[in-house]
Each structure stands twice: as structure tokens, then as C-alpha cells.
Homo-oligomer: A and B are copies of this chain.
């Protein structure tokens, strides 16, 4: 296609808006690497927009074939059209619209040692994507989004996740349902808060643990903090009065994994 009026092009272009993502159940993944990750984790690609030069490169052509086999309709487009959909000057050579996939807390496997991350009212998609990437790198079992959060399927969140959006089980839940689930699952909730009564590295994380972090501006609500099994604070000095949320999550997730001797890490 060369025309911006094409219905699929219009659809893909609309996916920058949350409303269009919700209505279509689709989101955009930029580039060949993300498309590979999506396929590798069994996500369903609905549409692919590929630059005309993509079909001349054997590796990309093979990827397009696999995307087609997985159900995608593949359109080739001019670089200009691709740039207009991607909203940037040097777009990736392919854009893939995948179907959303969310899991339910109740469906999460709870036997054996487990590490989950729960985020309450996280607002910044870059932070969310980065936390998905960190959770994935540390072998976490899933990320729960509690209350009204930013959209994990926004282009910024997907981009910052560097493919981990496809690897990390993701559940949306109401705080009350989350608390009920942690009790049923026998999961210990370790909440990060400025008012924590012990340092994050002095916490007992237990065999099944949820690391709970709050909103960028206001942290956790009192009820969720009170329902946690432990409240920890990350030490601070200097002029900064807090850490960036994704940095705090990285410190906490790696501390919890360190407490388990970095079990399962790649050699």
C-alpha cells in the first residue's frame, strides 16, 4: 500500500491512542526484534506493515513468512507511510500489531519458589516498560497492575520493555482482589515505602513473594501498606528525596533475587 487512507493503515495509526487499542484489542510492536519476541512467546500477530526494502532481505522475509503463518496479514508500505504510522523519522523496517494478552491472578502458578512484582497506580509508561524488563531479567513470574495504571500496551511501555512485554505474565487487578489472591497463594507481600520499618535488604522475602511498589508521586495507599507482610525502605542519603520508580524496583527486585542466591541465573 502507498495510501494513508488504506483501512489497515488507518487502524495501525490509530493504535497510538488507548481507546483505539482497547476497542481493537491490538497494540504496536516496532521492529524485527520485537516481532521475533512476540512470536517466540506465542502472541498472535494480526497485521504487519513492512517497508518495501524489508522483503528483499532474506532474514526479514523469513520473519514475514512466519508472521503470516501465525495469522498476520502483511502489507508492504513506502518508507514515508511507515514513518507516518510509527510517528518517527527513521522507523523500524516492520511494525507489527499484536493482539493484547493479559492473564488473571487466579491463573498464576503458585507452587514452588515464586517472585512477583505488583505496581499500584503506576503512571509512567517508560517506568512500566523498564520494570517489565527488569522483572524478566531477574526471572520474576509475573507483574500485577493494581488500580488505574498507565497502559502496558502503549508504544512507550512496549518500547521500554525491549520485548519483555511478551515474556512477562501481566495481570490487571483491583487492590482488594490482589490482597485476597496473595492470601490464597500464600504469597508474602513486601511493600516498598519511605516509612518502611526495616531496610530492603533486611526483609524476609520467603519462598513466594510479591514485591509491591506504589505510584510515582504518592506511593502506596495506607490500606495496601497495612495489608503487606513487611514494609521496607530503600536507604537514602544526599539531596535526592526518592528514587525513580523503575530504579527503586530494580534495587528491590535484585535484592530479592540475591536473597535466593541468584538461583537460575545464566552462567
Contacts and interface: CB of A to CB of B under 8 A. Distances in A.
Interface of A: 37, 40-41, 126, 130, 133-134, 136-140, 160, 162-164, 166-167, 199, 201, 234-240, 242-244, 246-251, 254-255, 257-258, 262, 264-266
B134 A243 contact: yes
Contact of A240 (B137, B240, B265): B137
Given A133-B244, A163-B240, A247-B247, 16 more contacts: A134-B243, A136-B239, A137-B240, A138-B235, A139-B237, A162-B240, A162-B242, A164-B238, A164-B239, A167-B240, A235-B266, A237-B264, A246-B246, A248-B250, A250-B250, A254-B255
Given A130-B244, A247-B246, A250-B243, A237 B201 contact: no
As for how many copies of this chain the complex holds, the number is 2
A52 B168 CA distance: 48
8 contacts: A133-B243, A134-B244, A136-B240, A138-B236, A162-B242, A163-B240, A247-B249, A251-B254
B138 A247 contact: no
Contacts of A237: 137-139, 264-266
A162 to B, nearest CB: 7
A-B pairs with lowest CB-CB distance, top 5: A235-B265, A167-B239, A247-B250, A139-B237, A137-B240
Q: Among the interface residues A37, A138, A251, which one has the most CB atoms of the partner chain B within 10 A?
A: A251
Contacts of A199: 262
Contacts of A166: 239
A247 B247 CA distance: 5
Nearest to A258: B201
Contacts of A41: 239
Contact of A251 (B139, B164, B251): B251
Contacts of A235: 138, 257, 262, 265-266
Given A199-B262, A201-B258, A244-B160, A136 B251 contact: no
A240 to B, nearest CB: 4
Contacts of A251: 250-251, 254
Contacts of A240: 133-134, 136-137, 162-164, 167
Contacts of A130: 244, 246-247
A137 B126 CA distance: 21
A255 B162 CA distance: 24
